[in-house]
Chains A and B, each alone.
Chain A
């Protein structure tokens, strides 16, 4: 039987060569990889600014002795960190990078529904990213990532123009990606794959895509209005001209609250795949997890007002939004309990992706539960704009979305590059990231609960927050070490990693039925066998060389038969 690893044969990576064969490709797998590396590059940029924030805060600078220049630089650092991490890293991370790579493979199709639109999305993304990076050179963007008027529309730095334009274009990239996935999942499933036989990752991507196409246009027009307001003083948002800045906040959070689910839902989807595969158990409560994704997508649209409890909206509105916000806790908890129930009596394999998966249960547990403190109207008035909020959303955005992204990278890495990364270095990296992350943000919960305000460049010794800042900065060093080690272990594997068979982990979803890495058009047999995506008895372990293989392979061919060696 020939090997199910195609590194020495023709695969999608080596089928064509040259810059244009990548840049102008319509192959979803290559686009996925390009998104992946672009996102990683932006993550390094955003991480650089994160460290700048941490180093500023742990310095000995007192409020009284800081120069205006230093403070502006600090404002710039947290603005760029937030904007880059949200618009350029977390939002495209799982949907655009992993989603592009995995969705058609999971569906057993050759590509997404609109491959050229997919390429267009990526090119838009590049343009948006270039504009964002240009912002760094043009001036000192200091509005915060939220672009609230009148900060963004008054006499602020003109770099707000390129930043807003960049975010606007990135929004369209995100819309087209979401639209592609919705049509792909609706129209290109194999006939045997009914909605409730879809892998949960597809449910999560579908729910994400719904939010992408319904919410993103609203931020698009809002940013466009900011642009017009800034350049022409239209007057809709500017109080000096009779406009209403709170109106912008409503529009902004109408997108940006659902957007946090654009970030977290795909992470939850990855999580469901990891838990089932590495516990060797059918996922517990499949339907409830699937429908919880849709429920979260729907609830996400009716809770935006909880960002504005102290912005001057009516008390009645605040009470209603507060009550509605609690509804999101229900589907989120359903997912977590189902994951834990899946692990119960499972045969847990402590692989690198699974370690990220298990981290998520802890981190999302804390991030989710502290969200309830902030949903509660009375406590939020106190916590608003403190480090409690900062810690909360980092636990969700980093602790769950980013760890999900990392788990997904390690999980699908064998499919992407044909090599498995599951060694001591990658496990230690995950451990360091987990410990470092908690060291960074746990002190911020405590500081925040004592009233430590966010977005301050310095606090002064008498404020009593220095200890938390020191601890936090120390933690961020550990976190950074872990992440660098994780990236290093991935890069090293490209050179001399352990070759992966088609199915190294024992996943039952369709992407594991094609060799690693897949051929240009994904599957050598057509269509692949569709079964229950979480019936672990469908595959069995055949040793290091062959990995997991189907128990009852199709009569006509296993996925590896008769492949010609490359010339």
Chain B
């Protein structure tokens, strides 16, 4: 081992190690580099869980205090769309996990295919989400402070025990639509809070999906250059872990928001 160098801009960083190609200068071995990255990504995922935690706590508190509002409000969400998105995300979690295996085995073609499928699924998820959001803006089922917030629902869908909240029926559209804007003001406010929580949770999750898509593009570009292989799959592995977390959060969001009854 060299003890006599002065490390000025030398590529071997002055220590004369036999540095493998993918080993950063400050690590001793590939194993140390992988372990550090693994611990780092898990610690980061922990911070992500905590980042979402405040909204889950908000959900728990408001649902605990106003269970009937949440049961009522949940009907405004499109369960079919939510279920479809759950399937799309679960499938993308499978393809990215397969991609990690591909990288480990050096199957570059399959790796690229799986990354592309994952990316398409993520895009599909966002498209479906966009349709859901547009529908809500159209219907006016929005958060408490939005000027266009009006809650309309077919009276047949209104549970019997909810009907006493209604003080008026809206006949404008020819069909019987209950205008929740005329409901008991406190009930209506809490409805708005449900949608506030809905938009915050799904919006924050959507931002994470978008970040995941950027990540996939970056991984795909590196895969195109043939960077990944049995000795260098860390980035794919860690990216996949992030994607699984994004998937996992949705798996909690779907029943908590859509399947209340």
Interface on A for B, CB 8 Å cutoff? 9-10, 15-16, 109-115, 117, 175, 179-180, 182-184, 186-188, 213-218, 220-222, 224-225, 228, 232-236, 238, 241-244, 247, 251, 519-521, 524-526, 556-557, 561-564
Contact B43 A179 (CB under 8 A): yes
The 3 A-B pairs at the shortest CB distance, nearest first, are namely: A233-B145, A235-B144, A242-B189
Tell whether, in the assembled complex, residue B51 and residue A221 are in contact, meaning their CB atoms are under 8 Å apart: yes
* A187 lies within 8 A of B189 (CB): no
Number of A-B contacts (CB under 8 A): 146
Q: Is the CB of B193 within 8 A of A114?
A: no
Q: How far is the CB of A339 from chain B (nearest CB, A)?
A: 31
Q: Does B225 make an interface contact (CB < 8 A)?
A: no
- Contact assessment for A235 and B58 in the assembled complex, using a CB-CB cutoff below 8 Å: no
Q: Are B7 and A520 in contact (CB under 8 A)?
A: yes
B35 at the interface (CB under 8 A from A): yes
With a cutoff of 8 Å between Cβ atoms, the chain B residues found around residue A112 in the complex are: 26
Q: Are B145 and A217 in contact (CB under 8 A)?
A: no
11 A-B pairs within 8 Å (CB atoms) are namely: A110-B13, A110-B26, A113-B26, A217-B53, A220-B51, A221-B53, A232-B145, A235-B144, A241-B189, A251-B54, A519-B7
Q: Which residues of B contact A10 (CB under 8 A)?
A: 6, 8
Are A113 and B36 in contact (CB-based, < 8 A)? Answer: yes
B39 at the interface (CB under 8 A from A): yes
Q: Which of A214, A234, A235, A562 sits near B4, CB closer than 8 Å?
A: A562
* Bound form: Cα–Cα A243–B190 in Å: 8
Which residues of B come within 8 Å of A, CB atoms?
A: 1, 3-9, 13-15, 24-27, 32, 35-36, 39-40, 43-44, 46-48, 50-55, 57-58, 61, 143-146, 186, 189-190, 192-193, 196-197, 199-200, 204
Q: Most chain-B Cβ atoms within 10 A of its Cβ — which of A188, A234, A524, A525?
A: A234
A187-B32, A238-B145, A562-B4 as given contacts; A247 in contact with B58, CB under 8 Å: yes
Q: In the complex where A188-B36, A526-B15 touch, is A235 in contact with B189 (Cβ < 8 A)?
A: yes
Q: Please, which residue of chain B has its CB at the minimum distance from the CB of A12? A: B7
A residues in contact with B51, CB < 8 Å: 217-218, 220-221
State A452–B35 Cα separation when bound (angstroms): 55
State whether B58 touches A521 (Cβ < 8 A).
no
Q: What 6 additional pairs, Cβ within 8 angstroms, besides A218-B50, A235-B144? A: A186-B36, A214-B46, A218-B51, A233-B146, A234-B200, A242-B189
Contact A561 B4 (CB under 8 A): yes
Main secondary structure of the interface of B (DSSP, over half): helix
Among B7, B52, B55, B189, which residue has the most Cβ atoms of chain A within 10 A? Answer: B7
- Give the distance in Å from the alpha carbon of A216 to the alpha carbon of B51 in the complex: 8
List chain B residues, Cβ under 8 A from A224.
204
Residues on B with beta carbons closer than 8 Å to the beta carbon of A243: 144, 193
* Chain B contacts for A188, CB-based, 8 A: 26-27, 32, 36
> Considering the chains assembled together, what is the distance between the CA atoms of A241 and B196 in angstroms?
11
Known contacts A221-B52, A562-B4; is A183 also within 8 Å of B192 by CB? no
B193 to A247, Cβ gap below 8 A?
no
- Give the distance in Å from the alpha carbon of A377 to the alpha carbon of B123 in the complex: 54
Residue ID in chain A nearest B40 by CB atoms: A183
Q: For B15, what are the chain A residues with a Cβ–Cβ distance below 8 Å?
A: 521, 526
A241: min CB distance to chain B, Å: 4
Judging by beta carbons under 8 Å apart, are B146 and A232 in contact?
yes
B51's nearest neighbour on chain A, judged by CB, is A217
A242 to B, closest residue via Cβ: B189
Q: Are A110 and B8 in contact (CB under 8 A)?
A: no
Contact of B39 among A182, A220, A236 (CB under 8 A): A182
Contacts of B14 in A (CB 8 A): 519-521
Determine which residue in A16, A175, A221, A235 has the highest number of CB atoms from chain B within 10 A of its CB, and name it. Answer: A235
Contact A234–B44 (Cβ < 8 Å): no
A9 neighbours in B (Cβ, 8 Å): 6
